[in-house]
Amino acid sequence: MRRGLDGPAPEERPTPEGRRNDQGIRIDPEVEATHLPRRTVISTLVQHEPGVLAEVSGLFSRRQFNIESLTVGPTDDEDRARITLVVEEPDPGIDQVKKQLRKLVPVISVRELAPDAMRRELALVKVDAERPDQVAAVADMYDATTVDSSPETATFEITGARQKIEAAIETFGQFGIREISRTGTTALARGTAETAAPVSATESATDQPTQQDQYTADDD
Amino acid sequence: MSERAASVTPAEEQDDEQPDADAQIADGAAPDATEESETTPEPVTTGAEAVVRALENAGVEYAFGVQGGAIMPVYDALYDSDIYHVTMAHEQGAAHAADAYGIVSGEPGICLATSGPGATNLVTGIADADMDSDPMVALTGQVPTAFVGNDAFQETDTTGVTTPITKENTFSSDPDRVGTDVSEAFALARDGRPGPTLVDLPKDVTKSETDREPDDPRVPDTYEVQERADEEIVAAAAERIENAAKPVMLLGGGVIKGEASDVCREFAIEHEIPVITTMPGIGAFPEDHELSLEMAGMHGTGYANMAITHCDALIGIGTRFDDRLTGGIETFAPDAELIHVDIDPAEISKNIRADYPLVGDAATVVEQLCEAIDASPKVAKWRAQCQQWKSDYSMAYEAPEDEPVQPEFVVEALDEATSDRAIVTTGVGQHQMWACQYWTYTEPRTWVSSHGLGTMGYGLPAAIGARLAADDDQEVVCIDGDGSFLMTLQELSVAVRENLDITVAVLNNEYIGMVRQWQDAFFEGRHSASEYHWCPEFDKLAEAFGARGFRIDDYDEVAETIEAALAYDGPSVIDVHIDPEANVYPMVPSGGDNGQFALTEEQL
Ligand SMILES: Cc1ncc(C[n+]2csc(CCOP(=O)(O)OP(=O)(O)O)c2C)c(N)n1
């Protein structure tokens, strides 16, 4: 007995012309359209309560969003904390990051920052102090502050945009770096623009990428 | 209350696993709790009473669970409550029963477990409810707060374990808050996109004194749900539908959860738009209606898959475009513009890019669409095409007398023997697919299955929950597989104890059938670990539990055995020996093109 159902076989059926890309977007067969990853800063205001950070970081790991850095700290309102995330994803992924974050009950608001937002990171860099004069000169160049020094080592605090910190670390490299500790980026919107204020659900569903221009999250 | 209840010392808690009768009496409830006034309930005196009061305020009638050390104060408070507690054989059963109760009744089902192993046994059921957006509240006992983090006896970080699989969970640390935490969990489980919530209840918190009555169920301020979709997008979507030549409505589980079946039916019938459902959407549209193309996806009907592949406007309502539905994204409805209605903004454009994103409550948004449409689309040709596909790829099967019983025949016989409102629950596997394909569903909330997680063992405990939520005149039939039934069959003891009128039909192929089918198709017939060389005799097993057992080997036994099993007023199990080689078709191999479904193994 033949097992299975009746009906025209696959090759006898009509097939449609169109196609979607792997992000589910309908594409013109001629033009391939895939979004490339870009780096952006997302600021979110959350209830200041135990477990929030685990919820947010857990969301990123289980949905496999590509996270560059995550910083968290209190705000002027003692019931709220601000989490600043730097993510690198294609646009549909960034959209999902924002929407999934908004779903978490302790999350009050989520916003992707404009390219002109103020972004800062702090790094502590511990270097060998065999050539104190030269080390001091480099520190000066990057506005680094000395936080500790001993006959063998000097430790500097550097704040600034990510590129500056990376450049400083590279330059300090010539003296021999013993240890580095970096905080990741924290950020605020410029002027009167709100960093993370509530948005309506429709706005969030139709959120279009806000950064179409050249900036990366680390330009200052 | 004695002082001891309020300030529990760790030493006292240690030997608490053995219920300490003296301590119970010493800590006992308020001395004169005997004089129950009819109208005003006694004020709460402990955290545990606040927990139970919160459930009562929410209108809870049933709870499913298993006792244990850390949850004992809550059970003690339940003792005086009108809430009927069903003691299950395993916490997984409690979670599935609560889940099914939630599906059938529309109100969150409640399950309880103790800390540690009790809580972890709930995990599969919670994950299942999460994937299917079923409203459910899990209440777990926890070791006293002073022990938390010390690897105490029966301690598990329950909120940590369940964070990824709950809509929201709370570690309740304050006796004055605990009742409100439970109320809030109830509201969150039900409102917006439903889902499971969990409240972890440390024993000292539930034992402590409090006079704080819980607040009424209300979601937290940070939780906002949008009911109405943006009018401009509605207008644009309406125009798109008017101009569609090949429109299709795709109804997902959200249609049933959002009570939108009626308005979707009106919409489809008025504009003569063919309707497809997802698996969780089964029952949202009557499958005996001419416009119905039934279910699409991996084991959907050929006609549904042809229609979804060729449509030019896809109206997806309350569906998350799971990969079992879409197959490969690249070939899913490639010519269609997508109008997507969902209450959860994060579902929009998650898997398939929406051209018309409509965030809102399904019933409200479809009503908005109804109002916005001026003229029906011209669909005569398209409808004729769909009818043609319906006859080209009809779901017919052969059932020769001299061959073993075909499963499709059994499913159809069960359907015929029961009313339109009968409820079907299933395990996971081939039998689940036959139950989708060969039962004609016409009403919402009559199909109860594990869709997103695909949990074997779901069927029997789900039947228990469904039975308690259903009306008396609704039959509850569990169509199970031998493998699935073996995973949770101990719950039969519960069905017997509670004398629940449930009929279980085990489609017994002595195989982990779905796995065997895949092995035949994709692993050169190497049946690694998919054969049951020995299956218990399920009819005898049923009798051992105190249920009625039946057995079917031949076609001529089918009708009368089903009739006898349904007539029995209590749990019955039919061990149906089906053709072990029977396979499920049509089939779209995973990640494949829906339009290229296979009708036979050769076409895979
Ligand atoms: C808990 C669990 N374990 C494993 C699987 C993988 N699985 C899917 S279908 C299936 C076979 C089911 O066998 P049975 O219940 O006998 O049903 P049949 O396919 O034979 O109808 C298995 C093992 C699953 N879905 N759930």
Q: What is the mean pLDDT of residues B194-203?
A: 98
Q: Within 6 Å (CB) of ligand 1, which residues are found? A: B 427-431, 454-456, 481-484, 507, 509, 511-515
Alpha helices (H) in B454-594, listed in sequence order: 459-469, 482-488, 492-497, 513-522, 538-545, 555-567
CA distance B450 to B304: 21
Q: Which residues contact B369 (CB under 8 A, 6 or more apart)?
A: B234, B237, B238, B241, B267, B358
> Six-digit token pair at B75?
């059970």
Q: What part of B 282-321 touches A (C-beta under 8 Å)?
A: 302, 306, 309-310, 321
DSSP state for residue B343 in the 8-state scheme:
S
Q: Amino acid identity of A110? A: V
Contact A51 B159 (CB under 8 A): yes
Locus of tokens 């296979």:
B598
Residues B312-340 as b/e (b if ≥16 CB within 10 A, e otherwise) read bbbbbbbbbbbebbbbbbbbbbbbbbbbb
The per-residue pLDDT for range B118-143, each reduced to its tens digit, is 999 999 999 999 999 999 999 999 99
Q: What part of B 179-208 touches A (C-beta under 8 Å)?
A: 188
CA distance A219 to B217: 47
Locus of tokens 């970080």:
B157
Q: What is the mean pLDDT of residues A18-39?
A: 84
Assign B22 a pLDDT band (cuts: 50, 70, 90). Answer: very low
CA distance B50 to A69: 42
- Any chain A CB within 8 A of the CB of B159? yes
Contact B335 A15 (CB under 8 A): no
Find out whether B148 and B155 touch, Cβ atoms under 8 Å. Answer: yes
- Give, using CA atoms, the residue closest to atom 8 of ligand 1: B429
User: What percent of chain B is modeled with pLDDT above 70?
Assistant: 94
Q: What is the mean pLDDT of residues A91-114?
A: 95
Confidence (pLDDT) at A209: 44
B456 in active site: no
Instruction: Kindly identify which residue of chain A lies nearest to residue B326, measuring between CA atoms.
Output: A24
Question: Of B12-26, B157-171, B222-236, B449-463, where does mean pLDDT reach its minimum?
Answer: B12-26
CA distance A205 to B359: 7
Contact A202 B345 (CB under 8 A): yes
Looking at per-residue pLDDT, the higher value among B4 and B258 belongs to B258
Torsion of CA B311, B315, B320, B321, to 10 degrees: 0
Asked if residue A210 has pLDDT above 50, the reply is no
Residues B414-447 as b/e (b if ≥16 CB within 10 A, e otherwise) read bbebbeeebbbbbbbbbbbbbbbbbbebebbbbb
Burial, A18: exposed, middle or buried (Cβ in 10 Å; 0-12, 13-18, 19+)?
Answer: middle
Catalytic residue among B12, B42, B153, B510: B153
Contact A16 B230 (CB under 8 A): no
Peptide bond into B10 cis (omega under 30): no
Instruction: Kindly identify which residue of chain B lies nearest to residue A204, measuring between CA atoms.
Output: B345
B545 in active site: no
> Six-digit token pair at A81?
């904390």
Asked if residue B44 has pLDDT above 90, the reply is yes
> Six-digit token pair at B98?
């609560």
CA distance B591 to B325: 10
Q: Per-residue DSSP letters for A72-115?
A: EEE-SSTTEEEEEEEEEE-HHHHHHHHHHHHHSTTEEEEEEPPT
- Any chain A CB within 8 A of the CB of B591? no
Confidence (pLDDT) at B38: 60
Mean pLDDT of chain B: 94
Confidence (pLDDT) at A50: 87
Find out whether B144 and B8 touch, Cβ atoms under 8 Å. Answer: yes
Asked if residue B472 has pLDDT above 80, the reply is yes
Catalytic residue among B92, B142, B154, B437: B154
- Give, using CA atoms, the residue closest to atom 2 of ligand 1: B456
Q: What is the mean pLDDT of residues A193-208?
A: 61
B329 contacts on A by Cβ (under 8 Å): 20-24
Confidence (pLDDT) at B10: 43
Asked if residue A216 has pLDDT above 90, the reply is no
The per-residue pLDDT for range B238-251, each reduced to its tens digit, is 999 999 999 999 99
Asked if residue B15 has pLDDT above 50, the reply is no
Locate the ligand 1 atom nearest the alpha carbon of residue B513 and give its number.
20
How many Cβ atoms sit within 10 Å of the Cβ of residue B370? 15
Asked if residue B30 has pLDDT above 90, the reply is no
pTM metric for this prediction: 0.92
Find out whether A71 and A186 touch, Cβ atoms under 8 Å. Answer: yes
Confidence (pLDDT) at B31: 46
A7 contacts on B by Cβ (under 8 Å): 302, 392-394, 599
The per-residue pLDDT for range B260-269, each reduced to its tens digit, is 999 999 999 9
Asked if residue B224 has pLDDT above 80, the reply is yes
Confidence (pLDDT) at B412: 98
Confidence (pLDDT) at B63: 98
Asked if residue B207 has pLDDT above 50, the reply is yes
User: Which of B335, B581, B599 comes nearest A18 by C-beta?
Assistant: B335
**Phi, psi angle pair for B337, to nearest 5°:** -85, 140
Assign A215 a pLDDT band (cuts: 50, 70, 90). Answer: low
Q: Which residue of B92, B509, B514 sits with most ligand 1 atoms within 8 Å of its CB, as the best mutation to test the pocket?
A: B514
Q: Distance (Å) from the C-alpha of residue B349 to the closest C-alpha of chain A?
A: 8
Confidence (pLDDT) at A219: 59
CA distance A138 to A125: 12
Confidence (pLDDT) at A207: 54
Confidence (pLDDT) at A153: 95
A55: left (phi over 0), alpha (psi -120 to 50) or beta: alpha
Instruction: With residue B574 as reference, give the H or E element that holds it.
Output: strand B572-577
Confidence (pLDDT) at A220: 58
Q: Please report the ipTM that was assigned to this predicted complex.
A: 0.88
Angle, helix B555-567 to helix B407-417, in steps of 10 degrees: 40
Locate the ligand 1 atom nearest the alpha carbon of residue B507 and give its number.
21
- Residue B480 β-bridge partners: B506
CA distance B120 to B123: 5
Contact B346 A100 (CB under 8 A): yes
Asked if residue A197 has pLDDT above 80, the reply is no
- Residue B506 β-bridge partners: B480, B575
Asked if residue B37 has pLDDT above 70, the reply is no
Asked if residue A194 has pLDDT above 90, the reply is no
How many Cβ atoms sit within 10 Å of the Cβ of residue A171? 14
User: What percent of chain A is modeled with pLDDT above 90?
Assistant: 75
In whole angstroms, what separates CA B415 from the centre of its chain?
20
Asked if residue B29 has pLDDT above 50, the reply is no
- Any chain A CB within 8 A of the CB of B231? no
User: Which of B222, B599, B602 comes nearest A47 by C-beta?
Assistant: B222
CA angle, A197 then A199 then A203, to 5°: 145
CA of B487 to the centre of ligand 1 (A): 10
Assign A196 a pLDDT band (cuts: 50, 70, 90). Answer: confident
CA distance B113 to A131: 65
Assign A144 a pLDDT band (cuts: 50, 70, 90). Answer: very high
CA distance B292 to A24: 26
CA distance B391 to B431: 24
Find out whether B159 and B171 touch, Cβ atoms under 8 Å. Answer: yes
B203 in active site: yes
